[in-house]
Amino acid sequence: MPIPQFTLSQRFFFDAAHTLRREIESDASRRIHGHTYHAEVAVRGPLDPATGMVIDLGLLRERLRAVRVQLDHHLLDEVPGLGIPTLENLCLFISRALSDLRPQPSRVRVWRDALGDECLLELAAA
């Protein structure tokens, strides 16, 4: 019988400003402007018989709080390690900040409800 795999996820949000150099909507994008971002991190793995958990959700929440502090109410252009403040780079930034978790994140999603934009980063199993 195959070992059951569970996926657990936790969400958080942050408000941040940024600029973006691009060809379309260039005037508005180049000015400092802000968004409310939502993020979700999922981990996938087997149940640990000793704890009854894949991961302690309290630990995951604690780690996400630390990531949120780096992003919330900041100018994303100035966040060390983020790079160009795109949804794609936000997904990468969050996944890298949690790369030492066990199990590692299997999926990171960042979206902006007000605009209907979303990015999903699916990570290969370690």
Segment 55-114, tens digit of pLDDT: 999 999 999 999 999 999 999 999 999 999 999 999 999 999 999 999 999 999 999 998
| pLDDT given for residue 26 in this prediction | 60
- Given its phi and psi angles, is residue 83 left (phi above 0), alpha (psi -120 to 50 degrees) or beta? left
Delineate the domains of the chain, giving CATH numbers in brackets: 5-122 (3.30.479.10)
Structure tokens at 124: 């290969």
| pLDDT given for residue 27 in this prediction | 59
| pLDDT given for residue 103 in this prediction | 95
| pLDDT given for residue 25 in this prediction | 61
| pLDDT given for residue 20 in this prediction | 84
> What pLDDT digit, counting tens, does each position of 28-56 carry?
667 788 999 999 999 999 999 999 999 99
- Given a cut of 80, is residue 125 above it in pLDDT? no
| pLDDT given for residue 124 in this prediction | 81
| pLDDT given for residue 29 in this prediction | 63
Residue that has been written with the tokens 């939502």 in this structure: 38
Nearest C-alpha neighbor of 87 from the set 26, 27, 16: 16
Nearest C-alpha neighbor of 61 from the set 107, 103, 9: 9
| pTM higher than the cut 0.85 | yes
